[in-house]
Structure 1
Amino acid sequence: MYAYASRVRPAPPGTRLLTAVSRPDAVPPPLLMLLGMVSTQVGAAVAKQLFSATSPGGTTTLRLGLGALVLLVTARPALRLTWRALGLVVAFGVAMAVMNLTFYAALSRVPLGVAVTVGFAGPLVVSLLGSRRWSDVVWAVLAGTGVLLLAGLGGTRMDALGLLLCGLTAVGWAGYVLLGKAMSGHVDGGRGLALGMAVGALCVLPFGVVTDGAGLLDPRILLLGLGVALLSSVLPYSAELAALRRMPARVFAILLSLEPAVAALIGVVLLHELLAWSQVAGIGCVMGAALGATLVRREDT
């Protein structure tokens, strides 16, 4: 027995990582979700550090443009669409452009945890306000209280323009979710995302050209932009899609409620953005609202 154990050595960390990327079905779904969220927020942290060399508009252009190129090559979507499908793809792309452009603009003014949490509250509140359950009113109020705490209710001063941009991110995120759901009924997920991201890249291209011009073609900037695109778009989407195929949608939603906490933690570790107690409480309120609404709906079904 000892001789057999000595021959079977554990695989090195690099091998395990390559296995997780190339064979996502070999990784437990909750771990895939966590890896996707961490990848997204690390990408956002890298993007924020890019602001010293490019503007938020330039960073958004690189993320959506390079991300679209990668997805178009891998998904190879057919361009033959019905007029309704084409309209949904364009609307989805515009929502993606608004969500990303305002998010990066907000990120240049407020901490990562604050920007992600306020944006995350957008689709959550829309979902809760469309419900007829009285309990969901409680969760909507809790989410709204969390946003107010993040906005300075607890005495913490926040950049007013940054908060406005966070609000626009929430609107864009809500539109992204609603239009993505509508689009999925006419175009499959991989094709729809690739085409929508291409539309979004075209929408933000003027902002990148005006603010950064030829600077976007600098090899170092292009390399960092590719890293942001992979970390923030391609890898998280692939991980979350693989996880969703193997877990109930409600479990997926419960795990997704951890996104604001992951963003705050990445902000502390990589960007050294310490949050006030009121901001931490605000993040907790939004997460609690998302978790509570998901659990209550599960009990009702």
Structure 2
Amino acid sequence: MSAASVPAPTPAPVSTTTVTAPVPEAGPGGRLRLAGVLTMAGSGLANQTGAAIGSLAFPVLGPVGVVAVRQYVAALVLLAVGRPRPRSFTRRQWGPVLLLAVVFGTMNLSLYTAIDRVGLGLAVTLEFLGPLAIALAAARRRVDAGCALIAAAGAVTLMRPRPSTDYLGLGLGLLAALCWASYILLNRTVGRRVPGAQGPAAAAAVSAVLFLPVGVVLVVRHPPTAQAVVCAVAAGVLSSAVPYLADLLTLRFVPAAAFGLFMSVNPVLAALVGRFGLGQHLGLVDWAAVGAVVGANALSILVPRR
């Protein structure tokens, strides 16, 4: 959900589903919860691995081309699951759906461009500030104010001036964070106005249509190689289809708080995939900043509410 993921109702979201099924307490329930944790781990790794594989196609397709292919894949998956009936939508329903489509495309485009400029770990960490800000803004506890300060310190550390600092890349990471926060709020509105998953599915379809001209221009001007297309499609499958379906399954057996807590590990997974998959190194200070952002979210979720 990243971001790269799909919509979410939890403090650190990536799914359009809500928790409706009770979580079993014993016996087979323990195995179900274990399966849910393993599914969450697989989902997070698939998401970040997909982004890493997609970046391999940047030299041929560029971030815009990779995002275009990812939008096509996301649209196919969500249309199959949501089965929207757009002719039945009212003007009141179309408004947030269209906004969601624009935010969806902008979010992925800004994130993938940031990945191209500053690396996977930093880009995903900056993007994660969006859902974290939503979660902390909705809280009314002193500990959440402390978590906000910790996260802010981590963000400032990541963006500290250095000779090689790419301020445009950092700015695009923050734009992705703003888009993800808007994405969450818009999804809540769409969820109230449009039944089931029809709203997100329609938004994904509109976003894919908006990227169609991009795909046509790329094919005409710079015919892509088969390897680049495979990498882009793999990014769409691993970063859109797999996380969406995995989250749909996971939220049946894992409490929403545990789901949100585990999703906060995504910046760490992104940094590890960037390190071992793409050779993108982070210094100790950067790792500490990533840990501060992740720790702020974990602390906010773990401290019990009155």
TM-score by length of 1: 0.84
1:92 aligns to what?
A: 100
Structure 1 spans left out of the alignment, 5+ residues: 1-24
Matched residues in 2 for 1:180 and 1:216: separation? 36
CA contact (8 A) 2:33 2:253 kept: no
- Give the aligned partner of residue 280 of structure 2: 273
Tell me by how many angstroms 1:179 deviates: 1.0
The one of 244, 262, 276 equivalent to 1:237 is 244
Higher helix residue share: 1
CA–CA separation in structure 1 for the residues paired with 2:226 and 2:95: 35
Which amino acid counterpart does residue 251 of structure 1 have in structure 2?
A
Partner of 1:131: 139
RMSD over equivalenced CA pairs, Å: 2.2
Task: Tell me whether 35-44 or 69-78 shows the greater mean CA deviation.
Answer: 69-78
Aligned to 1:300: 305
Paired residue secondary structure (2:59): coil
Instruction: Note closer, same or farther for the CA distance 1:237–1:217 as it changes in structure 2 (3 Å cut).
Output: same
Task: Give the superposition deviation at 1:96.
Answer: 0.8
Q: Contact 1:88–1:182 (CA<8 Å) still a contact in 2?
A: yes
- Aligned residue pairs: how many? 274
Deviation at 1:162, TM superposition (A): 0.4
SS at match of 2:159: helix
| Bigger Rg over Cα | 1
Whole-angstrom distance in 2 between the partners of 1:31 and 1:159 = 36
**Is the Cα contact below 8 Å between 2:60 and 2:225 reproduced in 1?**
no
Whether 2:218 is the aligned partner of 1:226: answer no
Q: CA deviation at 1:214?
A: 5.4
CA distance in structure 1 between the partners assigned to 2:157 and 2:257 by the alignment: 27
Q: Deviations over 1:10-67 (max 9, x none)?
A: xxxxxxxxxxxxxxx7971111111111111011001111101111111111110232
Q: Which of 69, 72, 75 does residue 76 from structure 2 map onto?
A: 69
Q: d(CA) in 2 for partners of 1:216 and 1:300?
A: 55
TM-score by length of 2: 0.82
Superposition pairs of residues 119-268 of structure 1, within 5 angstroms: 119-152=127-160, 157-188=164-195, 190-210=197-217, 213=220, 215=222, 219-268=226-275
CA drift of 1:91 comes to 1.4
Query: 1:29 and 1:188 mapped to 2: Cα distance?
Result: 26
Q: Which consecutive unaligned segments of at least 5 residues does structure 2 have?
A: 1-31
| 2:66 alignment partner, SS class | helix
1:246-265 Cα shifts (integer Å, max 9, x gaps): 22111111111111111111
Give a deviation string over 1:232-283, Cα, whole Å, max 9, x none: 1011111012111222111111111111111111111110111011110110
Sequence identity percentage: 35
Q: Structure 1 residues 109 and 67, CA, compared in 2 at 3 Å: closer, same or farther?
A: same
Deviation at 1:132, TM superposition (A): 2.6
Partner of 1:101 in structure 2? 109
Whole-angstrom CA distance in 1 between matches of 2:197 and 2:48: 22
Instruction: Determine helix, strand or coil for the equivalent of 1:267.
Output: helix
Query: Secondary structure in 1 aligned to 2:299?
Result: helix
Partner of 2:294: 287
Distance in 1 (CA, whole Å) between partners of 2:184 and 2:220 is: 31
Output the amino acid matched with 2:240: S
